[in-house]
Structure 1
Amino acid sequence: MHPGGYAELATEIRSLGLLRPQPGFYAALLVVDLAALAAIVAGMVVLRDSWWAVLLAPVLAVVSTQVGFLGHEAGHRQVTRRRGVTLALGLLCGNLLNGMSWSWWIEKHNAHHARPNDLATDPDVHPGALVFDAGQAVGRRGIAGWTTRHQAWLFFPFLTLEAVNLHASSVRALGRPGARHRVLEGALLLAHYVAYGALLVGTLTWPQALVFVAVHQAVFGIYLGCSFAPGHKGMPVLSAEQSEDPLLRQVLTSRNVRGGVLVDYALGGLNYQIEHHLFPSMPRPHLAHAQRVVRRFCEQRGVPYAETSAWSSYAQVLRHLEAVGADLRAKRTTTP
């Protein structure tokens, strides 16, 4: 394996025009997402006070996730380099349409991009309900220890709460001193929750509304988790030398998911995790082209390039979570 060469790869990618923003592509996506949201609202009005309206909850979860993908790509400047337009689009997709603080999430996500799978600096692998390294599992007792021992089985059930966790984290983040755009983001979050509540109260009975919220938020969380988790979970923690090389830092910690146009759309381009991490500002339509260049470059330098099917990626994540809790399970069975 020959480290180095990121600058050479970046020069080739740039010469192919693959880093140019694609506002037209994303404008079309936004129109589709807004039309889908309008259709869901119209459907709930037509099906007023009917349990059939609850069937629109998972559909809304899919649209919510697609809106989230668009906010993610806006944050990486894939849509446009203009800060004002980027901020407006991010606040629309994040705060107003999804009830999540866009600036808080982007700051957290950028920290992840800077050092993926770094146990000290990547917020996505900090220990919480789940832990992603055996060292993080040491000493966990009580409920934390029980969840770590069984976290592979709990992974998907926990994802049903991920959207709720993001909502709560957004509110907490805006309550901290120094939060960016606090007043504006807070007003947009409030507008989201008021509109969401008004839609439910105006079209559903209370039991129906409670079921609708539970289904919407659960499917939303699962979809988000199943889109982001395959990219890095279960990939290695790097040595200090490897982590200083920009090529190795991004390629060795990332995993691509094979698939065609449908997978590209379903995962919002996150199936090209290696290319996305090497070039975060690369628009989604260019990732497939870039993959051929990046894979060839890695093969020439002997750099492992991880790519697998969607099912295999989830299996690898679950096996890793199972392995992380192995020592705790062993101690549990040997303790008298």
Structure 2
Amino acid sequence: MEATTIAKPAIRPKYAGTGNPAFFETLRVRVNQYFQDRGLPRRGGKEARIKTATLLILYAGAYLLLLSNWFTPAGTLAVALVFGAVNILMVFNIAHDAAHNALFDNPRLNRLFSYTFNLLGANAYLWNLTHNQIHHTYPNIGDYDTDIQQQAPLIRVSPTVPRKWFHRFQAYYAPLLYLTYSLFLVFLKDYQDIGLLPKKDSKLLENRKHAFREYLALFLSKGIYYSITIVIPFLLIDVTWQQFLAGFLIVHLFMSFLLSVVLIPVHMVDEAPFGTVSEAGVIEENWTLHVLKNTTDYSRNSRLANLFFGGLNTHLVHHLFPGVCHIHYIALSEILKETAEEFGLEYREVSMWEAVRSHFRLLGRMGGSNG
């Protein structure tokens, strides 16, 4: 009888390049000095607490209004759109920072509020695995970064995804796929990440085992989310099932638009060189410089962008200092820009519109014969 071979998870690649270690050390010292000189906490402090409380109140208020039957169907849809927008704002401003232990000084509070992801249809445990551990370590590394191949093979932005004939049209059909992104997140992604459905966007998720309690937590939290967003509204809101279905899809189109326009341009742009792993499991580059080359900031000085996007538009500071709350990103990005220029390194900063345009240039190039 032949012995059964049990597949093992892929070995994590290692960065081997020396790069310019003095750059990050200098930047780290200056960032630390910024907080020390001003007596500020690296985490959120009072401002983040107020923001968190405000968003939670808006979430509860919008949801109660949605169920109130005080409005016409059109008015109910408007309230549902507000509720959907608040969901996205909570992802950007609460769940994301809490998952990075950056929202509150108390780690237990951060852990508690990281479960806001579960309330919003995602999963805190899987987010920590795919985002904190994998994406932050290997941004734009094909076959490893969990973000850049989520919609493969339909969308090709990574050189490691085989080119298909239909990719030449992806710049035209990609927006339609992006408008389904929130549906993908709440109905498919977590089941793929935990291994219940096929998934091929990261070798580091293959053959990975998870504790039974994580499967239980996934099903329980998904059930709660589906009850909050589908079952209870369907039973209580006085609309036809056709109106309910149409409204549900419209809200998710809107949520997907918000997610896509904020998140996609920070890494997946035409200027980003991406990265590859050798057969020996080595990335021939310094991690800091790789992140610098593969991350784009947009609308960097906009306080409105920082307020609504949770600082995700100043994404490079977030990657280099993930334990710092987003309320500090505007000031820290200025320090980062000055330090990069001092060391002769490119700091990529564009408008939001230009970041989106650059993404579509990437789609066109990766879909063509020269991509």
Fold-level match, TM-score > 0.5? Answer: yes
CA contact (8 A) 1:49 1:203 kept: no
Q: C-alpha distance in 2, partners of 1:137/1:181?
A: 33
SS in 1 for 2:46: helix
Q: C-alpha distance in 2, partners of 1:237/1:120?
A: 11
The 5-angstrom pairing of residues 14-93 of structure 1 reads 14-17=32-35, 20-44=42-66, 45-47=68-70, 50-69=73-92, 70-80=94-104, 82-91=106-115, 93=116
Q: C-alpha distance in 2, partners of 1:115/1:22?
A: 26
Q: C-alpha distance in 2, partners of 1:25/1:173?
A: 34
Q: Deviations over 1:205-243 (max 9, x none)?
A: 212211121011111111111111111102112477986
CA distance 1:236–1:19, shift in 2 (3 Å): farther
Q: Deviation at 1:112?
A: 1.0
CA distance 1:173–1:181, shift in 2 (3 Å): same
Matched, 1:159 2:152: no
In the alignment, what sits opposite 1:262? 304
Q: Deviation at 1:184?
A: 3.2
Q: 2:265 aligns with which of 191, 211, 230?
A: 230
CA distance 1:182–1:135, shift in 2 (3 Å): closer
Q: C-alpha distance in 2, partners of 1:12/1:62?
A: 36
Q: C-alpha distance in 1, partners of 2:276/2:227?
A: 48
Q: C-alpha distance in 2, partners of 1:38/1:278?
A: 34
**TM-score, scaled relative to structure 1:** 0.87
CA RMSD of aligned residues (A): 2.4
Higher share in helix: 1
Q: 1:8 aligns with which of 26, 31, 36?
A: 26
Q: C-alpha distance in 1, partners of 2:162/2:346?
A: 28
In the alignment, what sits opposite 2:156? 131
Query: Identity of aligned pairs, percent?
Result: 19
Q: 1:203 aligns with which of 237, 249, 259?
A: 237
Q: C-alpha distance in 1, partners of 2:144/2:99?
A: 20
Structure 1 segments (4+ residues) deviating >6 Å: 239-242
Q: C-alpha distance in 1, partners of 2:140/2:194?
A: 26
Aligned residues: 320
In the alignment, what sits opposite 2:313? 271
Q: 1:112 aligns with which of 127, 135, 150?
A: 135
CA contact (8 A) 2:69 2:238 kept: no
Q: C-alpha distance in 2, partners of 1:19/1:120?
A: 37
Q: C-alpha distance in 1, partners of 2:250/2:124?
A: 23
**TM-score, scaled relative to structure 2:** 0.79
Q: C-alpha distance in 1, partners of 2:257/2:235?
A: 25
Q: C-alpha distance in 1, partners of 2:145/2:210?
A: 21
Matched, 1:182 2:223: no
In the alignment, what sits opposite 2:292? 251
CA contact (8 A) 1:47 1:203 kept: no
Q: C-alpha distance in 2, partners of 1:173/1:245?
A: 28
Matched, 1:302 2:344: yes
CA distance 1:296–1:242, shift in 2 (3 Å): farther
Q: 209-218 vs 125-134, which deviates more?
A: 125-134
Q: Deviations over 1:102-128 (max 9, x none)?
A: 211221112111021111321112333
SS in 1 for 2:126: helix
Q: C-alpha distance in 1, partners of 2:360/2:146?
A: 20
Q: C-alpha distance in 2, partners of 1:257/1:30?
A: 24
Runs of 5+ unmatched residues, structure 1:
330-336
In the alignment, what sits opposite 1:334? none
CA distance 1:301–1:161, shift in 2 (3 Å): same
The 5-angstrom pairing of residues 214-229 of structure 1 reads 214-229=249-264
Runs of 5+ unmatched residues, structure 2:
1-18, 197-208
CA contact (8 A) 1:26 1:79 kept: yes
CA distance 1:50–1:238, shift in 2 (3 Å): closer
SS in 2 for 1:123: coil
Matched, 1:313 2:337: no
Q: Deviation at 1:36?
A: 1.5
Q: Deviation at 1:84?
A: 2.9
